[in-house]
Structure 1
Amino acid sequence: MRIELSMRASCLAIVASMGAISTGVQAQGTATLAPTTTVASDAPVEAAADQGGGGLEDITVTAQRRPEKVQSIPVAVSAFNAQTIRALNLEDAISVSKYVPSMISQHNAGLATANSYFLRGLGNTQSAATFDPPVGTYVDDIYVARQNANNYAFFDTERVEVLRGPQGTLFGRNTTGGAVNIIMRKPSEDFGGKFEVTAGSYDRVTAKASIDVPLSEKILTKLSAFYVTDDGFVKNITTGEHLNGDKSYGVRGDVRLKPTESLTIDLSGEYTKNTGTYFGVRVLPVASSKFRTSTTPVFYEAAMNMRQVSCKGDPVTILLGTQDGLCLNTDNYATSAHINWDTDAGSLEAIVGYRKQNQGYINNYSSSTVNKFAGFVLADKIRNNQHSGELKWSSSAFDDKLKYVAGIFYLKENNELKTATFSGGTTSYVLARTASNGVTYGADIHFDQSVETAAAYAQADWEFLPDLTLTAGARYTYETKRIDFFQSDRFFSPAFTSNPTGAAGYSSAQVEAAGIPLKQEQNRVTPRVALTYKVTPGTIVYASATNGFKSGGWNGTNSVPFQVLPFRPERTWSYETGFKSDLFNRKLRLNGTAYLAVTKDLQVTSGIIVPPSTVISQLARNAGKLRTYGFEFETVFAPTKQFNVFVNGSIGKGKYLSTVLTPGVPLVSQITTDTIPLRVPTFQLATGATYKVPVAALGGNVGLTAAYRHNSSYAVAALNTAFAPREDFVDLNLTYDNDDGEWGAAFGVTNLTKQETITANFISLFPGDPRRFTGRLWFNF
């Protein structure tokens, strides 16, 4: 869900005001904008005071599936605790990415609930179930399989961990690029609650509330909820409506049972609803040197003669009945159980979860086309459900010189998609058609896909010499995928298809007749090895080699059966060396990671001709081999409890080492070794400073934060038809915190200089966020 409190700057500001920035580690009494550092808290003064007027504290993470200090592990991880999330105003999963080195993220074109994460050059922009994301999303250690609803809302979150690079051993599901792990807050032993409300630009209003009600020492409960409304920042100049708004809400209940001192059972259930949209802007028929596009975007305007309606129901029926659309409706349901049994020999955990999603949307991607019937319109109905289970054992031996974790994992997933494409009409919507060998196919595709995965994993850390630790682990994965196609149960004019009844689409038999298998199986072992040396109590150096893979799939949304081509898994080896250090009585944190990643059978969408067709189609396929390398750094200096400075960022390069070319397709429509890889900025930087002082006359602390973020230009289209420009963002935030911690307020501005950027190029150019002003008020009891 997309719940973005429009206070990016205030996020940075509060973060800085809270403490510090650092890679993979978060400062507990200092604010941080760095990926691996966590900004600490709404009470930075007390935390810092305990350390002589300044200093940073560690955050505990589970990046290796057991609690550890983030500064002590050989993993490139950026961790954000609850205080940092609040301080930075991180309201959803996508908002975290701007603080993580080597990470670029946007919403999928036309789908506000779907995040397209790119880490170290690995990511994907498709949300269809037949194409898996290489950056996995986890909620309470439960894998969220579908990218079309991975923008998880932070309405009562304890911690977020972003792991950079392949996580093939412990977070092994499709993580060639990395993983985003969201851990929700558990019920408290004390009665209490909190409420927060914000209001800002584009009539955006958000509200969040949470209350803890312990029923006894052994039964703890918590109820949380959120609500968001936003009119949207894109004006449709044809209809006068505003687009790219948001209306969302959700509720979550948690129960913690503690029948014995050694047994804890956490149960949760939640429901969220999102109707937010994300459309492109209109363009002028003039080439743009700034965006390296053949047209020039007009910020922030669209020109579609289509009005917004509700997407509740069948999107095709709604589109044809109302002749309008521009809508999204997503209902998400989730339940989970986490059972932890601590014994003298170790800890046994059982984690089970169920997630269900119903989604429908009508997207007009032709933002400059006034005639709505002539545009490119998708009307999709999607159903996904998954259930998973994991059993994990962790323990230690030889006076903690040997620590290990092992487990088994199972996932069953079922996906249904009905997608209809309309284009080229004049006075009515015309179903898109493709003719081949005398057969005409109407673009109304229906498929069911099932995925079944089982895995076993183990990893051990052995301190075989004083201060020198060897980490070794591996994961075995078996996976089966099946897909079935059906002719449409929605009927159109027979002129649209070769079927006299007017049924569109095609069947599984037609796909198999084209020689395309409807089943895929994978057997794979993904190992990891690392060496860590503790130079001093506050400094480690490490080196690692990690393997990961991402599942294969099909081009499941194509309008003709012989283009439902399968593609192979994507495989990555990543080699890293780095250091983590806390210096000068923990007032200075320096973290750095150098990496080299080589990915084979990279899954990318590019031009291809599939016989018997003679027309170029843009299909997902294995494009070749990609190499990325770079250096990531996070630094924070907190000399006093009132002042801190942070600097963090990355230097990165990407290069296609080899590609697969298709005869007959022009090079401009193919991935070649000269193509610039997607979303790999050469340089990223986030820096800022916070000054926070107690003001006795006001009975609290007043803080001011100024932050600056920079990205060098990077490709946002696989065939290099569009680039984000050099991006420079300035954020300011003024905060007040009551001494008793009972209430506080903030006023901030994000994107102060009105930086204009684009995030994608799919028929239209999709805009980044504009400048926003936001006020915030919160209460605790």
Structure 2
Amino acid sequence: MLDSTRCIRARALGAAALLAITATTAHAQDAQATDAPQASGNLGSDIIVTAQRRPERLQDVPVAVTAFSEEMIRNLNLNDAIKTAQMVPGMIATHNAGLGTANAYYLRGLGNSQSVATFDPPVGTYVDNVYVARQNANNYQFFDVDRVEVLRGPQGTLFGRNTTGGAVSVIMKKPSDRMGAKFEATYGSYDRVTAKTTVDLPVSERVLTKWSAYYVYDKGYLKNVTTGDRLNGERNYGFRGDVRFLPTDDLTIDLSGEYTRNTGTYLGVYAAPGASDRYKTTTTPDFYNTRNALPEGNCKGDPVNILLTTVTGNCSLTDSYATTADVNWNTDAGNLELIAGYREQEQGYINNYNGTTTNVYAAYILADKIRNHQVSTELKWTGEAFDDKLKYVAGVFYLREVNHLASADFQGSATATAFNLLQDRHFRQQVETVAGYLQGDYEVVPDLTVTVGARYTYEKKSIEYFDSERFPGFGFNSADVRAAGIPLKLTQNRVTPRFAINYKLSPSVMLYASATNGFKSGGWNGNAAVATRVLAFEPEVTWSYEGGVKSELFDRKVRINLNGYYARTKNLQITSGIVPPGETVIVSLARNAGTLVDYGLEFETVFAPVRNFEFFANGSLSHGEYSSVVILPGVSQALQISTDTRPVRTPTFQFTGGATYTIPVDALDGDIKLIGSYRHNSSYYIAVLNTAAAPREDFVDLKVSYEKTDGSFGASFGVTNLTKQETITANFLSLFPGDPRRFTGSVWFKF
């Protein structure tokens, strides 16, 4: 560990030296400039973000944020939220074990692989500024997206729900004032077919509408050698309608509604006998095969009834409904915005998590029925004062969500001939949170701005457990939990401040530093099989200290954004397997593990020496460790978190680079683009107790595309994971594989 830490510090000193050189060079270059740089030069148009809840140039925001424009999303094949997250410094994104619809995001060592509603995600997801409380189906499909912003570090002041790790914000396109349509279709490996369409139909100058739809089918890349099924595929579709009313030049009303259906699975591979040094496991994964004994079925209906009557499963079905209203009123004094959203999810799944046992009745099978719905409202005011020296954002936020879970798990002996019920549990959880926030940015002297902000949050959670109706004698109720001395209600009162300072060294170089506080609510060990294990855990609290530079140099041919951070998280929330005192079987326990310290450097660069060529390089150097831990009484040392345990999904070094070369072809009345990218992660643990690790990862993607000059037609052909990099992303009774190599061809039209 000492050598690793020294290596990190040496690299950090080198990067700090580069920062100093960059700032000095930029200052000398721009000393005579008087105006802020405009959207000129080879870097193209400015990227506008709302990371501080108001529109600003990316380079003017003193926050670590990675932004993806519509063009970047198309060029890099970032078709859903998980693929975008994989390009962000300091971030690891995977599917939850068993669920292809659910993403687990880890930013700067903070993440959550739990879908159960009693465990909140430390990296929040937002769609059109509306918080998505549950990550059961947060792998958002990009079928008409304007941009994606990923904010790194705690969001304790301005965003809807307090988070310790960061936020993924998806901004959809608004209706156009011109009639038009676009259509895109792709076909690729494993019979993957996608189709996306959007139609803009303005009713008048004051009423604009947009209608969108998508369809995805993937046969699946995991071969079940026991049943002959293809797993880890998906069949998804969705519809969305947007209406924009413009009653006056100062008033905009945006209404939207969407429905999506997702059926993605994500199951593990066969574990061959023999330890693996590459994966630090006691078995060796067999890519891409499984001996999962459960035949594939359909999860439409009650999952438990389907399993018991048809002996099928390995399926998932999620229906999501969402409506959003955004009312924006510009006045001479400032801007008033009302954001209201409703979201409902209904999900059922049946997963056999054991990829080795060929007796279907012996395997561990989980059958869940989940229903979540949420209502949120936010009223936000932005304005300026004192001759525009003060810019401020103030608002209030309210969220109410209700979550239902009916979950049954089964596992029998090696010779079992019928399903053996282990436990059946049913709970209802309700969450209410109210918050008020205020942040001001004051220009103390020319080019020097100080930021002070804070958020007050009050949150109340309650949970009820119910005896099993379908299996009398199983399950437990709220009285059993109370008898175990466990509270069924939790409340939080917390103020989370932010302090920052930024200085414009020149019109194209900004230095900044900040201290930000964030927290994630406490909760319960919701997956508990018995009442005594519904243990409550404390809120996770983070202080993050950060400093960096944002610069555009050499007549906007080079962009270099570099930042360093140090974060300390108390009461880190984890889920790990333990053997309770007096028992012999490992059970899953959500709890507080101790204090996590994580620090590192992150960089994002773009180099565009000529208009037809652009190169980008993003990456991070980081180090995470437990500075203190919580010891579980009566549990063996091998199942304890210790200060020698490495935090999960925190690679020491990450790098993503790529280039786009554009070749104008007059004979074709368009451009040919050659696009390549490379993504690297050093080895990192994927199991909390360090019993499995992803190897060094090196991914290569290539693509060639053609687009007409007027943008009316385009086509492309590409390959992802060209070198067939094999990796694992999770370990729960099976090892879960990363994506294989894929070839994809696509065409698109605009009218």
Normalising by the smaller structure, the TM-score range is: over 0.9
Q: Answer yes or no: is the 8 Å Cα contact 1:340–1:348 preserved in 2.
A: yes
Q: CA deviation at 1:92?
A: 1.1
Q: Please say if 1:400 is aligned against 2:375.
A: no
| SS of structure 1 residue aligned to 2:83 | helix
Distance in 2, matches of 1:564 and 1:648, equals: 42
Distance in 2, matches of 1:215 and 1:56, equals: 33
| SS of structure 2 residue aligned to 1:259 | strand
Find the partner of 2:180 among 192, 195, 213.
192
Q: Please say if 1:236 is aligned against 2:224.
A: yes
Q: CA deviation at 1:427?
A: 4.5
Match in the other structure for 1:751: 721
| SS of structure 1 residue aligned to 2:194 | strand
After superposition, the C-alpha distances for 1:147-184 in whole angstroms (9 at most, x for unaligned) are 11111111111111100000100015131000001111
Q: Please say if 1:505 is aligned against 2:475.
A: yes
Q: Answer yes or no: is the 8 Å Cα contact 1:336–1:353 preserved in 2.
A: yes
Q: CA deviation at 1:663?
A: 2.8
Match in the other structure for 1:578: 548
Find the partner of 2:317 among 300, 304, 329.
329
Distance in 1, matches of 2:417 and 2:372, equals: 31
Distance in 1, matches of 2:579 and 2:193, equals: 49
Q: Residues 615, 300 of structure 1: CA spacing in aligned structure 2 closer, same or farther, 3 A cutoff?
A: closer
Q: Residues 632, 50 of structure 1: CA spacing in aligned structure 2 closer, same or farther, 3 A cutoff?
A: closer
Match in the other structure for 2:609: 639
- Percent identity of paired positions between Structure 1 and Structure 2: 63
Distance in 2, matches of 1:58 and 1:644, equals: 15
Distance in 1, matches of 2:216 and 2:417, equals: 35
| SS of structure 1 residue aligned to 2:476 | coil
Distance in 2, matches of 1:696 and 1:403, equals: 49
Q: Please say if 1:447 is aligned against 2:427.
A: yes
Distance in 1, matches of 2:65 and 2:287, equals: 35
Q: Please say if 1:655 is aligned against 2:632.
A: no
Q: Answer yes or no: is the 8 Å Cα contact 1:352–1:389 preserved in 2.
A: yes
* One-letter code aligned to 2:459: E
Q: Residues 382, 730 of structure 1: CA spacing in aligned structure 2 closer, same or farther, 3 A cutoff?
A: same
Distance in 2, matches of 1:632 and 1:263, equals: 40
Match in the other structure for 2:695: 725
Match in the other structure for 1:466: 446
Distance in 1, matches of 2:272 and 2:582, equals: 37
Match in the other structure for 2:295: 307
Q: Answer yes or no: is the 8 Å Cα contact 2:92–2:107 preserved in 1.
A: yes
Find the partner of 2:646 among 673, 676, 680.
676
Match in the other structure for 1:712: 682
> What does residue range 120-135 of structure 1 map to in structure 2 within 5 Å?
120-135=108-123
Q: Please say if 1:61 is aligned against 2:49.
A: yes
Q: Answer yes or no: is the 8 Å Cα contact 2:103–2:138 preserved in 1.
A: yes
Q: CA deviation at 1:610?
A: 5.5
Distance in 2, matches of 1:670 and 1:122, equals: 19
Distance in 2, matches of 1:615 and 1:236, equals: 28
Q: Answer yes or no: is the 8 Å Cα contact 1:315–1:381 preserved in 2.
A: yes
For structure 2, the 5+ residue unaligned runs are 1-37
Distance in 2, matches of 1:274 and 1:606, equals: 28
Q: CA deviation at 1:431?
A: 3.7
Match in the other structure for 2:419: 430
Find the partner of 2:587 among 617, 636, 650.
617
| SS of structure 1 residue aligned to 2:707 | strand
* One-letter code aligned to 1:176: T
Q: Answer yes or no: is the 8 Å Cα contact 2:335–2:382 preserved in 1.
A: yes
* One-letter code aligned to 1:68: E
After superposition, the C-alpha distances for 1:557-616 in whole angstroms (9 at most, x for unaligned) are 111100000000000000000000000000000110100000000001235566686865
> What does residue range 84-123 of structure 1 map to in structure 2 within 5 Å?
84-123=72-111
Distance in 2, matches of 1:677 and 1:191, equals: 52
Distance in 1, matches of 2:650 and 2:584, equals: 33
Distance in 2, matches of 1:373 and 1:81, equals: 49
Q: Residues 382, 593 of structure 1: CA spacing in aligned structure 2 closer, same or farther, 3 A cutoff?
A: same
Q: CA deviation at 1:432?
A: 4.0
| SS of structure 2 residue aligned to 1:484 | strand
Using the TM superposition, name which of 602-611 and 527-536 deviates more.
602-611
After superposition, the C-alpha distances for 1:229-288 in whole angstroms (9 at most, x for unaligned) are 010000001111110011000000000001111111000000000111110000111100
* One-letter code aligned to 1:456: G
Q: Please say if 1:339 is aligned against 2:338.
A: no
After superposition, the C-alpha distances for 1:370-406 in whole angstroms (9 at most, x for unaligned) are 1111000000000000001000000001222100000
| SS of structure 2 residue aligned to 1:295 | strand
Distance in 2, matches of 1:50 and 1:488, equals: 63
Match in the other structure for 1:11: none
Q: CA deviation at 1:102?
A: 0.1
Q: Answer yes or no: is the 8 Å Cα contact 1:303–1:369 preserved in 2.
A: yes
Distance in 2, matches of 1:86 and 1:730, equals: 17
Distance in 2, matches of 1:428 and 1:326, equals: 19
* One-letter code aligned to 2:215: Y
Q: Answer yes or no: is the 8 Å Cα contact 1:607–1:670 preserved in 2.
A: no
Q: CA deviation at 1:648?
A: 1.5
Q: CA deviation at 1:532?
A: 0.2
Distance in 2, matches of 1:451 and 1:126, equals: 17
Match in the other structure for 1:626: 596
Q: Please say if 1:593 is aligned against 2:557.
A: no
Find the partner of 1:482 among 462, 465, 475.
462
Q: Please say if 1:365 is aligned against 2:345.
A: no
Q: Please say if 1:527 is aligned against 2:507.
A: no
Q: CA deviation at 1:690?
A: 2.3
Distance in 1, matches of 2:316 and 2:417, equals: 22
Distance in 2, matches of 1:330 and 1:573, equals: 36
Distance in 1, matches of 2:615 and 2:466, equals: 59
Q: CA deviation at 1:692?
A: 1.2
Distance in 2, matches of 1:608 and 1:377, equals: 19
Match in the other structure for 1:553: 523
Distance in 2, matches of 1:653 and 1:427, equals: 47
* One-letter code aligned to 1:637: F
Find the partner of 1:565 among 521, 524, 535.
535
Aligned CA-pair RMSD: 1.4
Distance in 1, matches of 2:160 and 2:244, equals: 28
Q: Residues 188, 296 of structure 1: CA spacing in aligned structure 2 closer, same or farther, 3 A cutoff?
A: same
Distance in 2, matches of 1:662 and 1:282, equals: 32
> What does residue range 218-233 of structure 1 map to in structure 2 within 5 Å?
218-233=206-221
Could you tell me the TM-score, scaled by structure 2's length?
Answer: 0.93
Match in the other structure for 2:658: 688
Q: CA deviation at 1:305?
A: 2.3
Q: Answer yes or no: is the 8 Å Cα contact 2:517–2:541 preserved in 1.
A: yes
| SS of structure 2 residue aligned to 1:409 | strand
Match in the other structure for 1:697: 667
Distance in 2, matches of 1:429 and 1:585, equals: 72
Match in the other structure for 2:24: none
Q: CA deviation at 1:424?
A: 1.2
Match in the other structure for 1:143: 131
Distance in 2, matches of 1:776 and 1:185, equals: 22
Distance in 1, matches of 2:105 and 2:43, equals: 33
Q: Answer yes or no: is the 8 Å Cα contact 1:55–1:640 preserved in 2.
A: no
Q: CA deviation at 1:57?
A: 3.0
* One-letter code aligned to 2:96: N
Q: Answer yes or no: is the 8 Å Cα contact 2:75–2:675 preserved in 1.
A: no
Q: Answer yes or no: is the 8 Å Cα contact 1:608–1:662 preserved in 2.
A: no
After superposition, the C-alpha distances for 1:66-93 in whole angstroms (9 at most, x for unaligned) are 1111101110001112222222221111
Match in the other structure for 2:267: 279
Q: Answer yes or no: is the 8 Å Cα contact 1:82–1:157 preserved in 2.
A: yes
Q: Answer yes or no: is the 8 Å Cα contact 1:56–1:587 preserved in 2.
A: no
Distance in 2, matches of 1:144 and 1:754, equals: 34
Q: CA deviation at 1:706?
A: 2.2
Q: Residues 55, 160 of structure 1: CA spacing in aligned structure 2 closer, same or farther, 3 A cutoff?
A: closer
Q: Please say if 1:77 is aligned against 2:61.
A: no
Q: CA deviation at 1:51?
A: 4.2
Distance in 2, matches of 1:271 and 1:620, equals: 32
